[in-house]
Amino acid sequence: MEKQYNPAAVEDKIYAKWQSENTFAAQENTSRETYSIVIPPPNVTGILHMGHALNNTIQDILTRYKRMDGFEALWLPGTDHAGIATQNVVERKLAQRGESRHSLGRERFLEEVWRWKDEYHTTITTQLKRLGSSCDWDKERFTMDEGLSQAVRKVFVDLYREGLVYRGKYIVNWCPRCHTALADDEVEHHTKASHLWHFCYPLSDGTGHVEVATTRPETMLGDTAVAVNPKDSRYGHLIGKTLRLPIVDREIPIVGDNFVSSEFGTGCVKVTPAHDPNDYQMGQTHNLEYIVILDETGCVTGPVPEKYKGVDRFDARKMVLADLEDLGLMGSIVDHDHSVGHCYRCDTIIEPYYSDQWFVKMKPLAQDALKAAQDGSLTFYPKRWKKTYVNWMEDIRDWCISRQIWWGHRIPVWYCQECGEIIVEMEDPTQCSACSSHNITQDEDVLDTWFSSWLWPFSTMGWPNDTALLQSFFPTDTLVTAPEILFFWVARMVMSSLHFTGKLPFSHVVLHGTVRDKSGKKMSKSLGNSIDPLEIIEKYGTDALRFSLITITAQGADVYLGKDTFDLGRNFANKLWNASRFLLGNLSEPLQFSELPEPTQQKEEDRWILHRYATTVEAVRHALETFRFNEACHLLYDFIWRDYCDWYVEAKKSSFYAPQNEEERRNAYNVASYVLAGALKLLHPVMPFITEEIWMHMRKKITHTAIMNGDTLMLEEYPQIEKNLYQEELGDKFDLLKEMIAALRTIRSENNVPPAKKGSALIIASSPELAEWFSALSYLFTDLANLSDITIDTTASEPDFAGQEVVKGQRLYLHLAGLIDKSVEMDRLQKEISRLEKVLGGLEKKLSNEAFLAKAPGAVVAKEQEKRAGVADTLEKLRTSFEKMK
C-alpha cells in the first residue's frame, strides 16, 4: 500500500472496475427479495451541487447496504427534461446569435433543444458517477423517452375520459418572463415592503364617492365592480348603486359580498375578476364581466385609453397614480408589507392571468393518497412531514397542467376548425371524429414538467406494459428527496400511482434538509456562497465528501457547510488507511484463516474488540434501517478510529512485532483481520472507494473465509448481528481499563514527563477481583501508558513523590522520581498556582458584582460560572500535587 492514501489514483480506476464487471446491475425475475429506489431525476442541463451530493449519497448508502444485505437492489437513474428551465437555457443561447424560437419556428426550435439535450445530458450523470453512485446505468431513463411519453399520453387520455382532466377559463399564475402558466406550488411567495394606495371612485348619481385601497393600482383599469361587506353599516345602503370608474369612465356596480373584510383598508374592495383569484370568485358569484387589461408580457392591453396600451405593468402603475392625482381622487398612501408571488424558475413577480388552461381535478385523486398517510401505509422521516402532507392533501386545489412553451410533452388534444369538436386519443388523429373534417389543429401548449415526473416510479419500469422490470421492482421501497418538492412531486406520485396501478409507489419517504453555509444562508450561485462538490472531490476525495456530509446531517435537519467541513472525512480516511497499512505492511507472507480463534486462545483485548464490533454491527444496522445515517457514521467513526485504531491495534503491536510464539502472532492477525474486514463492510456504503481499495490490498495478504469471500467488497455480505460475541461485562471492565490508561497518560502530561522516559506505576484497586484482572492485563498498562513496570494491589501504601488520579474507585500513581526534576517542577507548579489564583480571584469578583449579574444574559453568566468551576478544580489539583512534592 502507498504511504498515503491518494483518492485521485483510486476512484476512477475502481468505478471503471465496478462498471466493467456489471456490479450495479439488478436482475429481473430474481429469486432474491428485491429493493428499489428511483432517483429524483435531475434536470437534463443541470450540474452537480451540494444538494445533489447529499441526496444521492443517501440513496447510494441505502442501495449499497441493501445489495450487500442480500437484496436484489435496483437504483434506477434518469433525468428530467425540465421544460421551462431547459427552454430558457436554449432561448438564451439563440439570443446570443440573434435568433429566437419564433424566428426558427416550433419544429426547428425543438431540434435545437434536442441537440442541446444530447450534448449536455451526460454532464450530470458523469458527475453522479464521480460521486460513486451505484446506479444501474443500463436502465437510465429520460422523461421524454418514447416509453415515458406513451405513459404520459395514456394518463392524460384516461383522466380526460374519466372527467378528471378538463379545459376552462380560469385565473392562473402567469410568469411574464417565461410566458407560461405556473401551478400554485410553483409560485414562491416573498414578503415585500410596499404601499396600500387609497383613492376614490365617484358615485354615478353624483352624490358622493367611495374610497378603495389596493396594493396594485394599475389593475383598476380592469375593475368591473366595487365590493363591500353587506354587514358593514357604513356601506350597506350603497349596495346596488353604480360608480363611474375613473380614467376608463366605465360604469360599474357596488356589490355586497361576505368575503370582504370590513377591517382591511377602507372596507371597500375594487374587483378585477380577470386579474385576481379572489376577485375571480366574486366575479363568478355576481356574474361580473371579465376584462383582461394585461397581456402575456405584463403590458397593458384591452379596452383602456390609448396612452396606456403596450406600457409595462409597473410603469402603468405610476401613470395611473399620476392620473388619479390630477383628477383629485388620490387619498392616503400607507406603508404595507405583503406577500408577493414569484416564479420559482426566474424569480419574476407573477401576474394572475385569465386564460384558457388545462386542469386536473385533484380532490378525487387525493382521497386514497391522504388515507395512505393517515393509516401509516406511507411513512415519513422525519415524522413531522406527515402533518404537512396531510394538511396539503385536505386543502388540495385543481392542478393547472398546461404550459405555454414548446419544449415538453405536447398536449394530445386536437380541435376541429369546422364543428368545434375536441379530440383526445392515444394516436394522432387525421380527421375529426365527429364531422370527418381534416381541418383539425393540435393544442399549442405542452404539459407541465411534473405531469411526466409524477409517473416516474412506474413509467420508468415500462408501465403501462406489464414488464418484467415492473413485476420485479415496483412498488419501490424508499424515496429520498427534499421537502420543497413534497407537493410538486412526492404527493403527486402517490396520487398517480394509486390511481393507475392501485399501489403506493414507495412506502418510506426520507426528506433531508437544505444545504446552507456556516451563517445559515441557503447555498446558491447567485449568493456566491455555494461549494462545488467536484472541487471538494478533487481536493479531499469522494469518500471524504460523502462521509463528512452524512456525519453532520441529522435526520431531516438542515446542513451547515464550510470548506473545512471536509477535513473530518479526509482525516478519517487517512486514519483507516494508516491502520490498514500498518496491519498489512507487517506481513511478509500471506495468511489464511477459516474461523476465529477459540475463546480460550483469545486475549482480553481480542474478546473486547469482538464485543465492540458485534455491538457496532447491531447499532449501525438499526441506524440504517431507521434512516439515521449520521448516527451510523458516528458509530463507525467511534469504533474504527477510537476502539480499533487507537486502542486495539496499539494493544496488539507487541503480538505483531515480538510475539512469544507463532500462535500468538497468528491469533492476533486472525482477530485483527476479522474485525478490519467487518469494519470495511460496515463502512463501504458510506465510503465505497477507500474501503474497496483496502479490501483489494487485504485480499493479497490475508484470506479469512469466515468473513471474506470475494474479490469485490461491494458484493460481499453485509455483517450480520453476532450475539455470541457479546460480552457486556467485559465491555464495561475494558472501558474502565481505557479510562485508567488515559489517566496515567494525563499524569505524564500534567507533570511534563518527557515522552522518551518510561515510568513506574502503582494501582490500588478497589477489589481483589479487579486487581486480579488488572494484573492479567498489566502488559496493556505498560505498552499503552509507556511504563517500565506496574504494581497492582489493594492494600499498598501511597507513594511520596508521585502524580495521582482516581478513576471510579481505582487509585493510580505514577512515580515521578527519576522522571522529572522535583525542584524545577515545584517552581513551575508554584507559578501556575499563582497565575490561576489571580484568574479565580477575577472571576469571583465578576460573579459577585450585582450589576453584572443583573445586566448580563443568563448564558453569559452560566459560562462564567462554568469557567470559575473549571479553574477552581484545576487549582485544587495543582495544590494537591504541590503539597505532595514538599
Using the CB atoms, write b or e for 510-532: b if 16+ within 10 Å.
Answer: bbbbbbbbeeeeebeeeeebbbe
| CA atoms of 91 and 112, how far apart (whole Å) | 10
- Look up residue 494 and give its three cell numbers: 402517490
DSSP 8-state assignment for residue 543:
H
- Look up residue 175 and give its three cell numbers: 410568469
The helices-and-strands tally (H runs, E runs) of the chain is 29, 31
845 marked as binding residue: no
Q: Is the distance from CB of 459 to CB of 505 less than 8 angstroms?
A: no
Strands 78-79 and 141-142: parallel
Secondary-structure breakdown of the chain: helix, strand, coil percentages, each rounded to the nearest 5: 50, 20, 35
Neighbours of 291 (CB within 10 A): 20
Alpha carbon distances (Å) from 327 to 247, 309, 316, 546, 582 = 9, 20, 16, 66, 90
Q: Is the distance from CB of 250 to CB of 222 less than 8 angstroms?
A: no
Partners of 820 in the β-ladder = 817
Question: What residues have CB less than 8 Å from 185, skipping those under 6 apart?
Answer: 487, 488
What is the DSSP secondary-structure string of 8-51?
Answer: HHHHHHHHHHHHHTTTTPPPTT-SSPEEEEE--PPBTT----HH
| CA atoms of 447 and 148, how far apart (whole Å) | 13
Lay out the sheet containing 802-807: strands in order across. Answer: 787-793, 759-764, 810-815, 802-807
C-alpha closest to that of 77 among 51, 47, 56? 56
| CA atoms of 827 and 816, how far apart (whole Å) | 15
Neighbours of 94 (CB within 10 A): 17
| CA atoms of 18 and 324, how far apart (whole Å) | 73
Biggest CA-to-CA distance, the chain? 116
Binding residues: 525
Binding residues for ATP: 525
